[in-house]
Chains A and B, each alone.
Chain A
């Protein structure tokens, strides 16, 4: 069904605009049209479906589900809920405090915060489209595992000392959220979510695909193979370091990732690059500084850096080709 978009791009680029199929401009324009139409179509459909499902979840409910669970159940559940709960990074501080105040262990709270940016519906949709279903499933499993592992490590090492002390004293009242009931309200909420998210990410998608189209049409494969391919043994850490200052969401990154894969960059390097961009962001760390001591931020960033390297090298080794 998705070949529909390839046909559409064929018609627009090669017939309507009469561009040469073998020229750089032609392939770049074709790529841009095919990818943007396909991505927006997939996003609208998926966000709507997931938005509907999400009306059954809220941070208030998540907090209630997570409090009083055993440690192990807590880590796993927190990682899964982190992946599916709607939550923007600007809410991480209130959420962090509210979780701890409800008696949820620090590690369980961190598991939620680690998984949340790595896995979201936009990333999953775009990855499925760009690198295939198998790698997308691996990506999700890795994202969950990192949350569980990171959370467990925080508790094992007793890192409570690296939380700003005032945090433990805050009492957060439990509010009853109004909640959504009835299918009309859920439907309306799902539709609003589509509009909300598309409004937020459309520019990233266009920039990402535009950049991808440029790379696709103008930068030769040899350049990527030589600089970021299997011959460069440091491709993985370099990709992660390059990803840190790039503060973008999955919507902008994955179209670029697809091109990198086509150009001979290895899959592990690409996964590490995507994870680094979406999960390690300086603004996010600055926001969390309010409640976490610098040592904890270094631990957090360091844990992610090391894990992404492990993921990248392992994937290159097993699936790099």
Chain B
């Protein structure tokens, strides 16, 4: 694959090279900054110290939280670099694979595939909508960026599912786990994304891979929460019935709880996907490519055309992906058939075979 067809490959190569030459570019910078801060707090504060007055009690900072955090993060950066590189690796590998697949595949093939998947999952209407939407994306000149964004979102959602569903199951099984995890989720959902962009950059660098990690942090909460909720909402008489027939824990989970919680879990996946898409623009600030970058550039240059194209692209992707995952939450019977394989292209194929 040439570098031109895949700009992101070079970007990740760059980061790799940077890592190998200067083993810790961020660590170095942070530690100098940090020593400055330390000297400030050590020498500067006593000089500035005026008499404590009850009228202005907060003139001086009591707790130097900012410098603590700085010290803490830079300590983590210097000492846990291998750990974060290790965390990055699977994300990097998945993203590269997904991204190169989407970008290398001929657009018409991608459009056809999306159309078929949409038809299978939902129906002809969504299939036609998807095809028209994707053609529009290409027509307005956002194809390459859309595929990059799609790859980012798909990778993020994949990791959200892989991390989120087991976490949700753990929460549902143990009240203690739920008690510990719930506030963490609250923090992840309420902390403005801008706040953790900085430490993420310090820990993981910039580029698409940290972008995926930020997106995971931002978007994983709904799938965890709704997995937990879905499992807890399984009617207790069904749990009792399964128990009375001698179900062990694994059978209970896979034969009763997960199938019954599936619509709720799918609603969580859907929400995660939507959050992931909305994170795309914010993540572009740490040099993540795709539609978000178009929007960011548009804002920076006051280029309303470019920003609009990026925005429209995100909306089109969002609508297509939303409808597709929503229909995942329905079972075949809600759509009026016995089995999922009786409709759509596969149904057609099977009918021909007969």
Do A and B pair up? The answer is: no
